[in-house]
A and B are shown apart, each in its own frame.
Chain A
Amino acid sequence: MRTLAAVALLACAPAQGCPGLEIKDAWIREAPPGSMMTAAYARLHNAGQRLLRIDGALGADFAGAALHRTVVENGISRMVHGEPLELAPGASGALEPGGWHLMLMRPARALQAGDRVPLALKCGREATEYTFIVRAPSE
């Protein structure tokens, strides 16, 4: 059973980039028409043996993508960037509204709910690509 689980993990976790990084519920917020900006979110899990240091993102559908974190301090919402998201082996984390997120600048095409968009997460120089689904905001 354990071997089967390990094989399954190997099958779905790409080897390059961020080894052992598994992501779930990867989504991009559908943006208002003409909007220059949106964000991507996902649940993260480090199934590997090494500390993962996620420090950026790449997306061909955008003029730029970056790992950011929203923080609210003294009632002021601000962006923190340039800080890596670290995941210890076995640890889970999340990119979520009001926290860590991938900021996506100037989409090359209008993204609509249901669209599938490739985005890569960077761990240092290497990147691993995942598929994100565009979702309309509910709440």
Chain B
Amino acid sequence: MNTAKVGAVLAAGVALVAGAWVASRWYAPQPVAIQSGVLLGAPRDIAGFTLTDHDGKPFSNEQLRGHWSLVFAGFTHCPDVCPATLGVMKAVAQRLGPRAPAMIFLSVDPERDTPAVLQSYVRYFGPAVTGVTGGREALDRLCASLGIAYVKIPGATEADYTVDHSAALVLVDPQGRVTGYFTPPLKVDTLAADLSGIVGSST
């Protein structure tokens, strides 16, 4: 290939990329701006998983389809962040009423958080919240898909361990794909306003 040919190929390549970029800007849906987190440019699929909800029923990808969901990973032995975040989720659900996303409390401490423990815990935060947990392998697979991390931290006794965990809320779209994250500090007003714009824009 001589220099002229290389130049022509390069120019064509640049034109193609530029054209594609212009087209993507031109035809892309108007992005929804949110104040309390980030929306992904392209939603990410969630790998197949099966866990258990607080009533002991299976909870899998299917339960994340057909409606928006907001997933928070935590554990019931968490003194501060988890009840505070669930309190915010409860208030947001009340604020948005029937338009509210399904609120999912994903326990990353299945040893202590049996479905029965989760049931009395999540009921306190109202009917919008579903507690979910299950086998470690399925849990880890879902956390990986959601981009959630957690680490068990030993305590003074074997029973007193704690768990470091992601503080963000994961937004799942009605196709069951990860589509954004809300990050602390989580405030009812901003979260409700952000969610209102999102669920209103595409359902």
Q: Which residues of B contact A78 (CB under 8 A)?
A: 153, 164
Given A72-B167, A139-B87, are A34 and B120 also a contact pair (CB < 8 Å)?
yes
What's the Cα separation between A33 and B116 when bound, in Å? 12
Contact A76 B149 (CB under 8 A): yes
Partner of B80, one of A35, A36, A70, A76: A70
Report A41 CB to chain B, min CB distance, Å: 9
Dominant secondary structure at the B interface: mixed
Give chain B residues whose Cβ lies under 8 Å from the Cβ of A70.
80-81
Count of A-B contacts judged by CB separation below 8 Å: 85
B162 at interface by CB-CB < 8 Å: yes
> Chain B: how many interface residues by the 8 Å CB criterion?
34
Q: How far apart are B45's CB and chain A's nearest CB, in angstroms?
A: 21
A55-69: CB near B (< 8 Å → 1, else 0) gives 000000000000010
The 8 Å CB contact of A37, one of B78, B149, B184, is: B78
Given the interface pairs A32-B124, A78-B164, A79-B162, the reply to whether A68 lies near B80 with Cβ below 8 Å is yes
Residue total for A at the interface (Cβ-Cβ under 8 A)? 27
Q: Which residues in B have their C-beta under 8 angstroms from that of A29?
A: 83-84
Q: Is the CB of A39 within 8 A of B79?
A: yes
Q: In residues 141-197 of chain B, which contact A (Cβ within 8 Å)?
A: 149, 151, 153, 160, 162, 164-168, 183-185, 187-188
Interface residues of B, Cβ cutoff 8 Å to A: 76-81, 83-84, 87-88, 90-91, 117, 120-125, 149, 151, 153, 160, 162, 164-168, 183-185, 187-188
